[in-house]
Chains A and B, each alone.
Chain A
Amino acid sequence: MSEQQTAPRLGCTKADIVVMILLISASMMIGGLLNQLREDRLPLRYQTHIEQIDEIARQINADIEPKLPTDNEHNILRLTLPEFAEFVESCRGLVVDARPEIFYERGHVPGALSLSRINFKEAYVLLKSKLEVNRSGQIVVYCAGYACHDSEIVCTALAKLGYNNIMIFSGGWSEWTEAGLPEETSQ
């Protein structure tokens, strides 16, 4: 073998670099193809959670109630723990749990309905009849706690779907359980 041949100092030959580029390209193409085959395919441009829920609310509006008003005046009040506990005890309205269903099943506020941000469209279709009865009534949404924004996102979606009287319990599941208040499970 000629000693005048040279190899890249990095220790990779040109063939190795071609293999690497082919691997990366093939992965992108396969990833794109698999995405097209998915039911819930990702769009080319990333959407934030708010944008995703906006689109879902638009789809629901189009599928179910195309004439729902979209410019509702809504005040989203934030309840403290004592106010939320009183709301739950008095059964003044609906309580909605915006956490993923798996956490809801392990424990939730007694009487709460599961309407997760992650699975909003499917969950809303299942709960539609219960929610629509309460369209002008009070609904309180909670999620994991102060650091979680899922309750705000679900609130936004419900407001876009015409629910006028929505409140948020910002303390969420963590504050409820830390206070030792009753829990319910679905298991």
Chain B
Amino acid sequence: MVRVDGSRATRGDKPMTATQRWAERVIRIALGCIFVYSGYLKSIDPRAFADSVYSFALLPRVAVNPFAGGLPILEMLLGAMLVLGLARRAATALTVLLYAVFLLVIGQALVRGLKIDCGCFGGGTPSTWSMPLAILRDTGLFAAAFYVFRHARSGSSRQPKSCERQG
């Protein structure tokens, strides 16, 4: 069955219970606030964040500063969209993608033995998070983002519309 918004309803889709809807909302808003906060911290000192990005030794030098300038804005926009529930599927998909990228980037730095400030909540500041802990934290956030995406994807976080019931 295909819903009115073009998404495919998966087998076993069940309407969420009130508790699940409440949990999805809380997790989505919390994720959004974390994104807005981390984006804001990165935007305060873009030079320090660019230093963190450069230290991962992944991007060419011409890409480091544009990336360091754009990512905080993306995080804040995504965070606001998550909090407000706008374009939920796209916002949560991009959130999942971003956390997957963060995990890969930090993981490869750990494997390569790079000693860096992860820059996750602003760059250049003494961080209390070691890299394994940063991976653990981002894994939890990735799981939370995936949970919200799963419900946004199936559309089961909303009440079914009348034409969907005909499927």
- B and A form one assembly: yes
- By a beta-carbon cutoff of 8 Å, the part of chain A in contact with chain B is 1-3, 5-13, 15-17, 19-20, 23-24, 26-28, 30-32, 34-35, 38, 40, 42-46, 48-49
Residue from the list A23, A35, A46 in contact with B90, Cβ < 8 A: A23
- By a beta-carbon cutoff of 8 Å, the part of chain B in contact with chain A is 1-8, 43, 46-47, 50-51, 54, 61-62, 64-66, 68-74, 77-78, 87, 89-91, 93-94, 97, 149, 153-154, 163, 166-167
Chain A residues contacting B62 (CB-CB under 8 Å) are: 44-46
Q: Is A46 a contact of B64 with CB atoms below 8 Å?
A: yes
Report how many A-B pairs have Cβ atoms within 8 Å.
Answer: 110
A25 to B147, CA, bound (A): 26
> By CB atoms of chain B within 10 A, which of A13, A31, A42 has the most?
A31
Q: Is A24 a contact of B74 with CB atoms below 8 Å?
A: yes
A37 to B72, CA, bound (A): 16
Q: Is A19 a contact of B70 with CB atoms below 8 Å?
A: no
A16 to B88, CA, bound (A): 9
A19 to B162, CA, bound (A): 26
A20 to B81, CA, bound (A): 12
Chain A residues contacting B73 (CB-CB under 8 Å) are: 26-28, 30-31, 34
Residue from the list A15, A16, A40, A42 in contact with B69, Cβ < 8 A: A42
Please, which residue of chain B has its CB at the minimum distance from the CB of A30? Answer: B73
Q: Is A6 a contact of B70 with CB atoms below 8 Å?
A: no
Chain A residues contacting B8 (CB-CB under 8 Å) are: 6-9, 11
Using A12-B153, A20-B90, A46-B61 as known contacts, say yes or no to A31 and B72 having CB atoms under 8 A apart.
Answer: yes
Using A26-B77, A27-B73, A42-B65 as known contacts, say yes or no to A16 and B93 having CB atoms under 8 A apart.
Answer: yes
A29 to B64, CA, bound (A): 15
Chain A residues contacting B166 (CB-CB under 8 Å) are: 1
A49 to B48, CA, bound (A): 10
Using A12-B89, A12-B153 as known contacts, say yes or no to A28 and B70 having CB atoms under 8 A apart.
Answer: yes
Contacts A/B (CB < 8 Å), 7 sampled: A3-B167, A5-B6, A16-B89, A19-B90, A23-B77, A43-B65, A46-B54
Chain B residues contacting A19 (CB-CB under 8 Å) are: 87, 90-91
